[in-house]
Amino acid sequence: MKWIPIVVFAFLSVMANTVCAETYHDMFITLEIPNNFVGPEFDNGIPYATRVFYKKAHADKKKSAMLQITTYDFGPKMPEITEDESGSAADKYLNQFLKEETKHRSRFMAARPKRVELAGYPASRVAWSANLDGHPVIGVTFCVIVKGKIVNLQAQDMKETSAADLNAAIDAINAVRFNR
């Protein structure tokens, strides 16, 4: 009987660590990062954008699943978008992102974008597949307009791996919160 509290404590400790590894938080986005995704890594080489990556390495350590958060802030250059127009604007910008992705991946194919909702905002979502460095990858990209900023959220993984890491990243995106 003395071992029951130890087992309960161990179980609760494991469960607490499997929910999320950490929280990504900036001035207006809060996103729970899936367990075992490591980061953040920053790519500030895109004008007007902040790009953050979290990765979960696969057993071979050469490939990884990825969760990417990119926020574009064009300031006064961004056209005024009403709440009614934000869904169609998300569609437009998602299509622009997809065109850019074809430059970095071969055999890029995307499904037709779907209108979804992220944290109460109209968003656009598309599933895609491609080859990256000769390896087949699959992913899902979301685009949403929030407070005059364009937010691009992407999950991707190697096609031949289990879908668990990709699904964990997609679930994290679906649970994103925007600070109002």
Domains, the chain: 4-178 (3.40.1000.10)
d(CA 177, CA 123): 13
Which residues, in sequence order, are CB contacts of 119 under 8 Å at separation 6+? Answer: 176, 177, 178
- Give the residue from 40, 22, 46 showing the smallest Cα distance to 32: 22
Q: Cα dist. 180→28, 70, 117, 154 in Å? A: 7, 18, 16, 22
Note the pTM of the prediction, 2 decimals. 0.84
Per-residue confidence (pLDDT) for residue 160, from 0 to 100: 85
Tokens of 126: 């598309």
pLDDT in tens, 109-165: 989 999 999 999 999 999 999 988 888 999 999 999 998 899 999 999 988 888 899
